Amino acid sequence: MYQVNFSEQSMKELNQLDITKQMEIAEIISSITKEQLAHPNEALRSFHRDNTVYYRVRANDFRIYFELIDDQLFAHYILHKNTLADFIFRTKLPVKEEFLAEQEDSFWKYLDSLK
């Protein structure tokens, strides 16, 4: 088991959920093992973005994006599945950090931000 740290965006998202969902998400990410990170599967994926290895774990209706830093997991983002923010981050499209942190749902505002 790893120690898990959460970004501001992750904590904000967690705090909006009821306690049961918070516990489910915390259980899923805190129970990740070195073996799982070494051999990702359908529920846990890894990918490279900006020279960083990110992992994505499914947690019911949410996707947790994290990286392994100094033998600790750092949860950068908790995004609702099938949202524009989840799609953009997963497919490595160019994105500003503010977009993911704000959970912006407007596709047109996203396109304007790339200018």
Query: Higher pLDDT residue, 111 or 115?
Result: 115
pLDDT by residue (tens digit) across 10-20?
999 999 999 99
pLDDT band of 41, cuts 50, 70, 90: confident
From residue 73, give the alpha-carbon distance in Å to each of 19, 22, 57. Answer: 21, 17, 12
pLDDT band of 104, cuts 50, 70, 90: very low
DSSP characters over 12-81 = HHHHTS-HHHHHHHHHHHHT--HHHHHS--SSEEEEEETTEEEEEEEETTEEEEEEEETTEEEEEEEEET
Predicted confidence (pLDDT) at residue 109 exceeds the cutoff of 70: no
Mean pLDDT of 66-89: 86
Superfamily of domain 3-113, CATH level 4: RelE-like (3.30.2310.20)
The pLDDT value recorded for residue 111 is: 53
Q: Which helix (H) or strand (E) holds 97?
A: helix 97-102
Across the chain, mean pLDDT equals 82
The pTM assigned to this predicted structure is 0.77
The pLDDT value recorded for residue 56 is: 92
Percent of all residues in the chain with a pLDDT value above 70, rounded to a whole number: 78
